[in-house]
Homo-oligomer: A and B are copies of this chain.
Amino acid sequence: MSLLFKHFRIHQIFGANTDVGKTILTTALVRASASVKKTSTGPIEDADDEYEFSLCGSLRRRLNTVLYRFHVPVSPHLAAQIAAGGEADKIVPDDTFLNSISSYVRRNASRVSGPAHLYLETAGGVHSPTLSGVTQLESYRPLFLPTILIGDSRLGGISATISAYESLLLRGYIIDAILLFRDQYYRNSEFLTPYFAERGIEVTAVDAPPPKAVDAAENLASTERYYESVNLLPVVQNLDLRHQQRFAELDSMPRRSIDTLWWPFVQHGLVKSETDVTVIDSASSDFFSRPASSLESQLDGSASWWTQALGHAHPALTLAAARASGRYGHVMFPQATHAPALLLAERLLHDGPGKGWASRAFFSDDGSTAMEVALKMALRAFSVRAKLEGTERKALGVLGIKGSYHGDTIGAMDACAEEGVFTCEWHNAKGYWFDPPTVSIQEGRAINDYRMNPTNSMSWVYDLTGRLDSPLAQVYREYISHTLDGLERSGGPRLAALVLEPLVMGVAGMVFVDPLFQRILVDVETGAGLPVIYDEVFVGLYRLGMQTPDISVHAKILTGGLVPLAVTLAFYSTNKAEALLHGHSYTAHPLGLIEKEVRSEPWAAAKARWESDGTPSVMWSLWDPRFVKALSCLENVAEVMALGTVLSIKVRDDQAGYTSQSAQLLLQSIRSTDHDMESFASSGVPPFSVHFRTLGNVAYFMTSLNTAPETIRTVEDKIWKALGETKRTSE
């Protein structure tokens, strides 16, 4: 929703405090802009009822129906409360206001032919509350407008100006200029000018206006003289220059990136032109802001490779990280402790995924590394227990499921089968991997590979207790025991650990393994004395009816996606283990913890939607069950599956595989925005495109834990439109 247009430079003006001269300095900016813009612009709309706009002028949130009832100003939230007589639904929500600014600006941006300027003056200080009680710099953040800060020239104003700057910086704002009055006595600008020069921002001090004259005509004349004496033309030119530089930077980034970056998992030969590169100018909640004709919103459809869980640039996470950084920086961890690491460990062990079984937490910095730690723990435990020596230890293997993926470091790769492109020179798959029986929704019904499913219901599929006595359970048991016997006879590697991704194998193409099969495998191997490792890096902190493991691995969601952090939880006592000679420098980086889990109304509603399907279920998703089922009936769709935040769509494609482009091509259209302003007006959802990743013939979509339901519905509509062009099969 960011607003940035080549020929229409817009700045928002924040105050370091109230009463620092925002309106006067904004007016001076408008006059300076007007003086250079004589040749420019087509017609810009006049103000509407609620807000006052003017050509090259100041858009000020006047709140005229509310604020003007009072003789002296109060904070907008208080004005709104009083005006609404305490009735919350009479208060204008912030997003309505933002949409209104956004649509006004977009309409006019397409009208102006030459360069034009617009200044949006905010009310009070940077953190003054808006009508709905959020503070201003957070409320306006989705627009990500370049910013001018009006400093405070009074006693205490140095502090107020720097603190306001830091609050803006914590929200990522780009601050292009600082203006303030010149005060001969306090001389704040003398301190602030070099202070901000070091931080790349120019400070301009301007004489304060003369005292108000009693006579109205004289007042007008002296005001006019004052404005004539104030020359902000250099500031305006500097703002123009920065604006141009920003576009030059954005325009040059794709080429420069192609020339310098080696991207992960990208076939660089396929990056043929600059338009193949996604430039991310900023991000907010579930959206990237990326340059197209202007900046456009693009839904981060893979939740940035499954890392982000609470939206991009979440202020609470930024503040938690900043607080830890301000208190510790990075401090070393061996034989040391600090509150953030200890509290996180305790929470994970006593009230999280380790509850009831794990006794120790080992921190590292990514999922692949944490898996290597898990493997080292498990293999060592097995070796010690089985009293293995020398080469026997080196020859151990693991038991797993085909399609598993545990990371890209060699040890993590060695715990996976060698399949297709996922291999390299030193990869040496060590173990045996079962072909997995999977579950999915096909033609509206829950299906497992054996089609042994008495109710066709997903709730039933995930009701493991109920299914343990089913005929299919017996089939699985026999298959497992038969396979293991054969393996032993054929002299396969000695198996030392069972390694599973519970529920879903992400990289394999979002393969949902029948949880009953995994459950029985765990039961069998636990019985045989093998350590069991769950790789929950993808699946997060989400586990359904599975037995507890001996070791589990978590990452990504652990910091809400903000910084790399991983943890290996283990049952083992460290007294018995030797020193684990594995140590990344960043073990237990002291950063903010996981946001409290979302127990929100949208989650309750989503659960209810899936339950209406049948009996209360442990299996549900933020995606609509009717949409999921309808999708599974489309001709070009082989199968669909949804669980939690993930939606996976396998399209029909004879040449399936990781390098297949079929899903990519079929859904290509949702990558671009339809600038449908009418649908925007009616739905209230601003237009956006969708950024998504595919795995061969599988397209998957992943939301945050708190993505707005309207956004998910809109994505469903977009997918439906893209895939539904082929005839829908009868239900």
Contact = CB atoms under 8 A, between A and B. Distances in A.
Interface in A358-380: 359-362, 364-369, 372, 375-376, 379-380
B253 A170 contact: no
B160 A17 contact: yes
Contact of A333 (B264, B334, B561): B264
B254 A337 contact: yes
A330 B427 CA distance: 30
Interface in A115-159: 124-129, 133, 135-136, 155-156, 158-159
How many monomers of this chain does the complex have? 2
A317 interface: yes
A425 B410 CA distance: 13
Contacts of A334: 263-266, 305, 693
Interface string A305-333: 11110011111011101111111111111
Interface stretch (A33-41, A270-278, A610-618, A680-688): A270-278
A341 B261 contact: yes
A608 interface: no
Nearest to A285: B329
A426 B276 CA distance: 40
Interface stretch (A438-446, A450-458, A585-593): A585-593
A624 to B, nearest CB: 25
A58 to B, nearest CB: 20
A305 B269 CA distance: 40
B264 A362 contact: yes
A77 B166 contact: no
A214 interface: no
Contacts of A302: 332
A158 B76 CA distance: 12
A564 interface: yes
A335 interface: yes
A288 B126 CA distance: 35
Interface string A332-344: 1111111101100
B409 A372 contact: yes
Contacts of A282: 327-328
Interface stretch (A521-529, A575-583, A599-607): A575-583
Contacts of A331: 280, 283, 288, 300, 304, 312
B277 A336 contact: yes
B325 A580 contact: no
Contact of A261 (B329, B342, B421, B496): B342
A268 B329 contact: no
A308 B335 contact: no
B326 A261 contact: no
A330 B312 contact: yes
Interface stretch (A185-193, A474-482, A628-636): A185-193
Given A262-B574, A266-B579, A337 B278 contact: yes
Contacts of A288: 331
Nearest to A318: B325
A337 B267 CA distance: 16
Nearest to A372: B409
B411 A319 contact: no
19 contacts: A78-B191, A124-B155, A125-B158, A129-B191, A260-B360, A260-B361, A264-B362, A264-B587, A268-B577, A268-B579, A277-B337, A281-B338, A307-B585, A313-B325, A313-B326, A394-B426, A426-B430, A555-B585, A563-B586
Given A135-B159, A260-B349, 9 more contacts: A78-B191, A127-B161, A257-B342, A260-B346, A283-B329, A304-B332, A313-B325, A366-B369, A394-B427
- 7 residue pairs, one from A and one from B, having the closest CB atoms: A264-B583, A125-B159, A172-B327, A410-B411, A18-B156, A172-B326, A312-B329
